[in-house]
Structure 1
Amino acid sequence: MVKITFFDWKIDEHQKLSKLIILSTIMSAIIPKVTKLSERVIRVLGCNPGPFTLQGTNTYLVGTGDNRVLIDTGEKNNQEYINTLKDVLSSSQIKLSNIIITHWHPDHVGGLLSVLDLPNIHPGCKVFKFKNDKKDVINDQISYEYLRDEQSIEVDDKTTLRVLFTPGHTDDHAALLLDEEKSVFAGDCVLGEGSVIFEDLSDYLKSLEIIASFNPVKIYPGHGPEVYNPKEKINDLIGRRMNRERQIMECIRSSDSQGTTISEIVSIIFKDKPKELHPVAAFTITHHLQKLLKEQKVETDGLADQAHYWIKGVRNQCLKGL
């Protein structure tokens, strides 16, 4: 077991986490560079271990024939990963027929150009991903085929991938259902260990429910070991978020007529935690509040970092009483 503790983050004026190093990461599993996980799945580790990527980014070769699909491509300029992937392709006499990118983060798409330079690429190899509003990491150099929700990708006569649009972690996130195994490649929607950072909590929770609705028997995550208890894992992820939401609502409900701020909520919920953790806690609380605002369960005066929050309707009652 390896435990790494860091205190390093940057939160910009829009309360977006532009840089985060996981504060306390416990990695209990040792993942080899190459592992055959099933008849249809070979995991090739991205060789980029760290507190944000755990043991490294998981990339997957999927299929049974001479032509396989690669899911994700690791980080940019990682020659160790490229050499490992090249060795697997060459020794198994495999060519890449298609590449699927789960989302735009650099540790999943960054190695794409290097992968496409390998000799083991089928001449008609296409790169698939969902379209997103942000500038793609390398969209000026790659022509993407954009994915569609519920799209079916036939890898070979024994392997079919079904595309699932699962935004939340990012707005372009894809999961892939391996029909024949009833397993899901979950990208960063579900990790083998640890918690997930998300852009939109409402979308993220809905995406977890989408994955759960297919009753997968196994999850191949974007980081960490495979998950053999998907239902329990997903229920735990949803349960943690809903428990945090109840705590936040209680803080707001118990505040006076002035309402309460994010920093006040953090100081109550995380009172027993080191203050060094509070900026990251505030980031998480902010996303919960965005969800509650969207659901019209709370309201705010909208004054940026000093915004106050009330249970929906309470502020107007307070103003009428003045």
Structure 2
Amino acid sequence: MKISGTNTYLVGRGAQRLLIDTGEGRPSWSAVLRELLAAEKATVKHALLTHWHRDHVGGVADLLKMCPEAQVYKHDGREGRLTIEDGQIFQVQGATLRAIHTPGHTTDHVSFLLEDENALFTGDNVLGHGTAVFEDLVLYLSTLEKMRNLGAGRGYPGHGAVIEDCEAKITEYIDHRRQREEEVFRVLKFGGLDNGKVRAATAAQGKPRALSPADLVAVIYPDLAEELRLSASHGVLQMLLKLEGEGKVIRDGESEKWMVRGEKAAL
């Protein structure tokens, strides 16, 4: 089910179903769910929350009004929820889901493998359109590899259209992140994305520049809308932290600007 924004999924056949995510808490969502359950003569046995963001947990209260016996699960088990363990099995007629802890978009993020179809409910780690935001790039890339190794066919994302080739989409995500990371490093080292032209300009100036995440966004995403620049800066910062952990870049403590390790930059 999708009511303009967040996808939620009613899984299984028979009198008891599994529900993945509960949307933002809009009346239109609860009305559709109530109508669907009545038509199917079914109820929700378990509600499984992929992560804590409001647009995925906002409908829990409405769900419990409809299905007071439903058990609500979340990875960390906070706020009265039951805890989801990595590898935990949830089963109803026609569906067996295996929970997989997949931190990245958030630290509590969980994906679910529909073993009957070898399909993956990807939550917000992998979307049906665009790319995802993440809290920790190193962790996120490790999780994407973990998700790719599942070899899932179809993907059911938290936002956007169904992904017909989930493994290929995850590979696309990994390649995209690596490309962006390489671009960040190139801009720090050469001052721009065109290595040859910028190398000469840098040599003429005598020193490479130190850059902030916002500076890097301006070079790498020159046409990005103003309202998206803060989010992009967060993503660039995560790339810089990863490169710092690998010993490739350093941060100036006073200016909070970044430079390639071993190069003396003009601040």
Q: CA deviation at 1:258?
A: 5.8
Pair 1:98 & 2:46 matched: yes
Partner of 2:73: 128
What TM-score, normalized by structure 1, do the two folds share?
0.72
Q: CA deviation at 1:273?
A: 4.9
**Are the aligned partners of 1:182 and 1:218 in contact in 2 as well (CA < 8 Å)?**
yes
CA offset digits 1:161-199 (Å, max 9, x no partner): 111111111111000001110000111111111221211
**Are the aligned partners of 1:262 and 1:307 in contact in 2 as well (CA < 8 Å)?**
no
Pair 1:295 & 2:246 matched: yes
2:8 match: secondary structure: strand
- Where do residues 61-140 of structure 1 align in structure 2 (5 Å cutoff)? 61-76=10-25, 78-118=26-66, 120-121=67-68, 123=69, 125-131=70-76, 139=79
1:190 match: secondary structure: coil
Letter in 1 for 2:98: R
Distance in 1 between residues matched to 2:110 and 2:226, nearest whole Å? 35
The 3 A distance-change label for structure 1 pair 218 and 252 is same
**Are the aligned partners of 2:52 and 2:108 in contact in 1 as well (CA < 8 Å)?**
yes
Pair 1:182 & 2:130 matched: no
Distance in 1 between residues matched to 2:108 and 2:10, nearest whole Å? 21
Partner of 2:82: 145
1:228 match: secondary structure: coil
1:70 match: secondary structure: strand
CA offset digits 1:18-45 (Å, max 9, x no partner): xxxxxxxxxxxxxxxxxxxxxxxxxx22
CA offset digits 1:89-136 (Å, max 9, x no partner): 011000111110000011100110111000x44x3x31111118xxx6
Letter in 2 for 1:173: H
The 3 A distance-change label for structure 1 pair 295 and 154 is farther
Partner of 1:199: 135
- % same residue: 34
Mean Cα displacement is larger for which, 270-279 or 284-293?
270-279
The 3 A distance-change label for structure 1 pair 261 and 178 is same
Q: CA deviation at 1:225?
A: 1.3
Letter in 2 for 1:213: N
Pair 1:231 & 2:179 matched: no
RMSD value, Cα: 2.2
Partner of 2:216: 265
Identify the match of residue 244 of structure 1 among 161, 166, 180. Answer: 180
Q: Which has the higher strand share?
A: 1
Q: CA deviation at 1:270?
A: 2.9
The 3 A distance-change label for structure 1 pair 258 and 222 is closer
Q: CA deviation at 1:65?
A: 2.0
The 3 A distance-change label for structure 1 pair 276 and 187 is closer
Distance in 2 between residues matched to 1:69 and 1:275, nearest whole Å? 40
Distance in 1 between residues matched to 2:258 and 2:137, nearest whole Å? 18
